[in-house]
Amino acid sequence: MRSLPVLLATLALAAAAAPARAQTRATVPPLPDSSGYGTPILALGRDHAGGIWAGTYGEGIYVLRPGAAAWERIRADSSGRSISFDYVDALGFGPGPDVVWYGTVGDGWGRSRDGGRTWENWDATALGAQYLYVTPNGIVRRGDTVYVATADGIKYTWDEGTVWGTLPDTGRRALPSPYVLAVAPARDTGLWVSTLRGVVQWSFDFGARPADPAPVPALGPRIRAIFVVQGQKAVVPLVLGGEACPGSLHPQRRQVKPYWQCSGVLMTGAPPTGRAVRQLVGCGDLMCAGATSSGAIVGTALGLTLYAPPGATARSRDVYAVLPPAPGASGDTLFGTACGFLRAQPAACLEHGDTVGVLAPAPPRHLLFARPIALADQPYIDQTYRYGSTMGGTFQQHQGVEFNNPIGTPVHAIGSGVVVFAGRAERGALTVAIRHDSTLTVDGKRAYVFSTYYHNSRLLVHVGERVAAGQVISRVGNTGRATNPHLHLEVHVAPTENVQAIVDPAQRFPPYTVNPELWIEPLPGTGIVAGQVWDGHGRPAPEARIYGIVKPEPAETPFAYATTYGDKAHPDPIYHEHFAVSDVPPGEYDLSVTVDGTRHVKHVVVAAGEVTWVVFGQEK
């Protein structure tokens, strides 16, 4: 089996193109950095005039216009003429020289007709509780038609947003799932689309045509990057990137059907902290660069390789976005990482820590339940709005965790027990609560363990019914106080069996919630990081940001930092933690937090199925 670099070298000859190059020097000014830990860059693009655009996590959009020496910042405000949200993961341009599009993590998308000075938005006000999570790099233009891919399907407009259509989600022409992971223009007409249920080519003429074979098991279930080779004589017409590896659609010489070839060459020597391919881009007709959670894919005269600076931390090599030179122009490729442009990152992102206050990975200290969403669906926890989080001050403190999934996705009981609530709770959310058979002893006293499941579209159990672990109890929906279709899961450890203490329609902050990430099994092959952050007076530091963990999935809700609990969240009665993050890929991480003006950095090791414990602020 030939390696991918050899395939691409063959492709270069077939396309009669010179070898593509993608250097890693940051040849633009660093982005402004309000945190000191670097600005996470989620998307990069170039407008018709040559201006460079960067979509960021929580800092809006930055623009470096032609000839400018400094970045111009575009942020959400209350004027009605700004962007709608500061979490931007998609950019697009045209039709027209001054038309710019952007997509967000949780509040839809928007468009400017004047180069970014004023905006029209399709946000929660216009869209309701769907289509708000735009797929990373999910804005594609074909002629005058603009497509916006989301976790709820693909919307399109042919008249600059006056009328929006929706790709069908039922019938023979439908996408295999409305939950879109990646999208790219096909070589001839239509789109290549990756969904939770496989990869298809879609067009208005024939609808969804599955890839062959579909889904693509060799490349992993979640294809995040699609690169369509434009050279008509190309040996490799399509390259995909997923969780496991990059791979190509390669015609067999003696058989009619093509086959998918997965190559691990680009991942050789990659650190084991997640290896997801996030974006693949081309220089002319040839693929020349890419973004992965373990470094940058760069092109050389001999092919492609994975690059990470020597001695880099996991966060500094966490690459989200790529921008090659303009067509026909020379120059360097830009790589946007979790802490700024590659090779132009702040010292805090590059610093390695000590192991004082760090314990080796160990088995969990109490029982773990099963996950409420099957692995075949979308089992990942929303990384932007974790337990105790406010998403950078955007929302109220969170009393559970979210699982974003299409409406109707089965919801499973995380453990056996008895249904104690089944009906409408806060703001009419269809809700199920289970008192589990398992209990916990806290300070010599018995505590009851409950789980609650909110925002369902349909309930399948009734009060008093006994359920088994894994039983389907409801279907995902967006009822009640929901901004999109998702399951909101809570775990409660209570000294009482009183159901009103667990589900009270008038109470937004139940008194006995704990972090579900310490109660449900981490995804296969991943571990948990938990710990404490103390201030100089020996008190828990509230809402402090812990940087350094790398989590490739789910990319539509990217991980930037963990936060310690505020005054509404509750530490686990066994751990007494201030923060906890599950589903962390095994490997080594350098975690940083600033408390009372002092930066603390700890080096931790994560192991599959185990909990790594770390304490900040008690080094003396």
Taking only the tens place, the pLDDT of each residue in 45-57 is: 999 999 999 999 9
> Is residue 9 very low, low, confident or very high in pLDDT (cuts 50, 70, 90)?
very low
For residue 142, give both structure tokens: 């074909």
Domains annotated for the chain, with CATH where assigned, are: 40-289 (2.130.10.10), 401-616 (2.70.70.10)
Q: Is the pLDDT of residue 310 over 90?
A: no
The per-residue pLDDT for range 450-499, each reduced to its tens digit, is: 999 999 999 999 999 999 999 999 999 999 999 999 999 999 999 999 99
Specify the pairing of strand 198-203 against strand 207-210. antiparallel
Look at residue 462 in the predicted model and tell me its pLDDT. Answer: 98
> Is residue 160 very low, low, confident or very high in pLDDT (cuts 50, 70, 90)?
confident
Q: Which of 36, 209, 241 is nearest to 136 (CA)?
A: 241
| Three-state DSSP state, 544 | coil
Q: Is the pLDDT of residue 6 over 50?
A: no
Q: For residue 366, with 0-12 CB atoms within 10 Å meaning exposed, 13-18 middle and 19 or more buried, which class applies?
A: middle
Minimum mean pLDDT range among 54-58, 88-92, 170-174, 417-421: 170-174
Minimum mean pLDDT range among 3-7, 367-371, 421-425: 3-7
- Global pTM reads 0.93
Q: Is the pLDDT of residue 261 over 80?
A: no
Top-confidence residue, 362 or 284: 362
Q: Is the pLDDT of residue 433 over 80?
A: yes
CA dist., res. 282 & res. 264, Å (int): 20
Look at residue 20 in the predicted model and tell me its pLDDT. Answer: 40
The per-residue pLDDT for range 289-307, each reduced to its tens digit, is: 999 999 999 887 767 888 8
Q: For residue 484, with 0-12 CB atoms within 10 Å meaning exposed, 13-18 middle and 19 or more buried, which class applies?
A: buried
The alpha carbon dihedral of 486, 491, 497, 503 has a sign of negative
CA dist., res. 345 & res. 119, Å (int): 31
For residue 551, give both structure tokens: 């989590």
CA dist., res. 400 & res. 387, Å (int): 5
Look at residue 332 in the predicted model and tell me its pLDDT. Answer: 84
> Is residue 14 very low, low, confident or very high in pLDDT (cuts 50, 70, 90)?
very low
Average pLDDT in the chain? 89
Q: Is the pLDDT of residue 331 over 90?
A: no
The alpha carbon dihedral of 245, 248, 253, 258 has a sign of positive
The per-residue pLDDT for range 79-104, each reduced to its tens digit, is: 999 999 999 999 999 998 999 999 99
Look at residue 12 in the predicted model and tell me its pLDDT. Answer: 34
Q: Is the pLDDT of residue 13 over 80?
A: no
Specify the pairing of strand 238-242 against strand 246-251. antiparallel
Q: Is the pLDDT of residue 109 over 90?
A: yes
- Would you state the torsion angle of the CA atoms of residues 490, 494, 496, 499, taken in this order, to the nearest 10 degrees? -10
> Is residue 189 very low, low, confident or very high in pLDDT (cuts 50, 70, 90)?
confident
- Please list the residues that pair with 581 across neighbouring strands: 529
CA dist., res. 436 & res. 448, Å (int): 7
Q: Is the pLDDT of residue 390 over 50?
A: yes
> Is residue 256 very low, low, confident or very high in pLDDT (cuts 50, 70, 90)?
low
Look at residue 215 in the predicted model and tell me its pLDDT. Answer: 63
Over residues 211-223, the mean pLDDT reads: 73
Over residues 340-366, the mean pLDDT reads: 96
